[in-house]
């Protein structure tokens, strides 16, 4: 007898008929002799509608009240899903986060789980019931309702799977699995059957929105196998798991391109120790995250410092650098919001060489100029011109033959 956690996202429970289809999957797994826990998100656009209403009432709503408001979406789904399972003739019971002792810290709208009491779940599972859990929520130590932030239901599902040592955590969503690249941009993109935690973490942090970074981190920590699969067909999806030997034969698993960044160049900084530190200290004080940094030393003893920030932070980053321009004796500050970041990811990079050259050549063949480069153990990223993003992604996808098994 296996223990399976099934998580259904908003599109998978959007209306009565989808709710029933999801319930059918839970009942099928249960009838096949498994113990089943179902974790649900809020229906379709529910969360967005509630947020809209909240902001209509108060343009800076209390995060504590937002959490109480938003957690109702998952609560509704959990009750409705349980009714749907009942209508298929199987025993089931729903719980909100608090009822199964999901305690979190008190950072409203982005709380982290600190504890969970699984007695009640185990009790109901032992009665052969399908246990349905409202995802995304918990309570803090003072019994205030908290939510886990975007992707929070994934986190709820993985945390339950980890604690109960589930055999599988199925994440049902509206795509067939994880692809070698975004199929809307790369028509030849291929669904992966398997990918490692590390690779998906790099891909997810770069905007592949299928599964949330936090839940993958958690899954990696506790070695929970995750299967990302579609609610709308019977495909096997993509298994996210610990890396295995065979994976290393595949050099590059996927490629992404994002347009969330902007670039700032500070020209002619005097080349004295501590100037760069000064810049990034001031930016850190404003809570601005820096991604890539390059510094060139010119012949005249002056340096150009280039770095990327989230587009949302661009104006604040510009203000901040303009403020210290004199202090660091910089000549000029130039901003560029029209950039894209192209990345290839693969754990095979650890043992294979020549990946960077192959990527640069693919771009060069397409006459795409590389503005910045950054690398990690399993990733290479290049900053390029924004309007070349799609062409570049396809070129790299072709160069690494990602469409082929």
User: What residue ranges bind its own copies (CB under 8 A)?
Assistant: 16, 19-20, 50, 53-54, 56-59, 61-62, 64-66, 68-69, 71-72, 75-76, 78-80, 82-84, 86-87, 93-94, 96, 98-99, 143-145
Name which of 66 and 382 has its Cβ closer to its own copies: 66
Q: Minimal distance in Å, beta carbon 177 to its own copies?
A: 28
Q: Minimal distance in Å, beta carbon 215 to its own copies?
A: 24
Name which of 3 and 88 has its Cβ closer to its own copies: 88
Residue 44 · residue 11 · CB < 8 Å? yes
Cβ atoms within 10 Å of 73's Cβ, excluding its own: 26
Cβ atoms within 10 Å of 15's Cβ, excluding its own: 11
- Beta-strand (E) ranges in 21-104? 35-40, 92-95, 103-104
Name which of 84 and 305 has its Cβ closer to its own copies: 84
Q: Minimal distance in Å, beta carbon 23 to its own copies?
A: 8
Residue 78 · residue 87 · CB < 8 Å? no
Q: Which of 283, 284, 279, 259 is nearest to 269 (CA)?
A: 279
> Rounded distance, CA 382 to CA 184, Å?
21
Q: Minimal distance in Å, beta carbon 234 to its own copies?
A: 23
Name which of 69 and 266 has its Cβ closer to its own copies: 69
> Rounded distance, CA 402 to CA 40, Å?
33
Q: Write the CB contacts of 141 (distance below 8 Å, at least 6 apart in sequence).
A: 103, 106
Q: Minimal distance in Å, beta carbon 182 to its own copies?
A: 34
Q: Which of 52, 209, 43, 51 is nearest to 135 (CA)?
A: 43
Name which of 42 and 211 has its Cβ closer to its own copies: 42
Q: Minimal distance in Å, beta carbon 57 to its own copies?
A: 5
Name which of 96 and 383 has its Cβ closer to its own copies: 96
DSSP structure class, residue 199: H
């Amino acid at each position: 007898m296996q223990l399976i956690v099934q998580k259904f996202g908003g599109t998978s429970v959007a209306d009565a008929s989808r709710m029933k289809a999801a319930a059918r999957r839970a009942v099928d797994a249960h009838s096949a002799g498994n113990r089943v826990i179902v974790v649900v998100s809020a229906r379709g656009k529910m969360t967005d509608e509630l947020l809209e209403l909240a902001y209509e009432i108060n343009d800076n709503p209390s995060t504590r009240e937002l959490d109480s408001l938003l957690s109702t979406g998952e609560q509704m789904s959990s009750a409705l899903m349980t009714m749907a399972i009942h209508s298929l003739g199987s025993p089931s019971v729903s719980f909100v986060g608090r009822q199964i002792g999901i305690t979190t810290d008190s950072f409203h709208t982005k709380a982290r789980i600190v504890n969970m009491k699984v007695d009640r779940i185990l009790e109901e599972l032992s009665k052969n019931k399908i246990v349905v859990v409202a995802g995304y929520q918990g309570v803090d130590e003072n019994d205030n309702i908290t939510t886990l932030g975007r992707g929070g239901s994934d986190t709820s599902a993985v945390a339950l799977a980890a604690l109960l040592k589930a055999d599988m955590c199925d994440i049902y969503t509206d795509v067939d699995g994880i692809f070698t690249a975004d199929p809307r941009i790369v028509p030849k993109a291929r669904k992966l059957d398997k990918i490692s935690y590390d690779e998906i973490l790099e891909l997810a942090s770069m905007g592949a929105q299928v599964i949330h970074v936090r839940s993958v981190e958690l899954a990696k920590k506790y070695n929970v196998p995750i299967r990302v699969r579609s609610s709308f067909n019977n495909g096997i999806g993509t298994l996210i798991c610990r890396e295995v030997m065979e994976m290393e034969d595949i050099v590059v698993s996927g490629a992404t391109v994002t347009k969330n960044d902007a670039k700032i160049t500070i020209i002619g900084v005097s080349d004295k120790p501590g100037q760069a530190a000064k810049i990034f200290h001031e930016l850190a004080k404003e809570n601005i995250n820096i991604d890539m940094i390059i510094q060139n030393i010119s012949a005249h003893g002056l340096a150009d410092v280039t770095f990327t920030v989230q587009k949302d932070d661009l104006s604040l980053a510009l203000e901040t650098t303009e403020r210290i321009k004199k202090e660091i004796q910089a000549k000029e500050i130039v901003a560029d919001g029209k950039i894209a970041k192209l990345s290839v990811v693969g754990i095979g990079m650890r043992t294979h060489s020549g990946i960077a050259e192959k990527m640069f050549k693919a771009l060069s063949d397409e006459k795409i100029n590389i503005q910045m480069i950054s690398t990690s153990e399993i990733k290479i990223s290049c900053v390029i011109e924004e309007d070349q993003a799609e062409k570049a992604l396809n070129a790299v996808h072709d160069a690494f033959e990602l469409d082929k098994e």
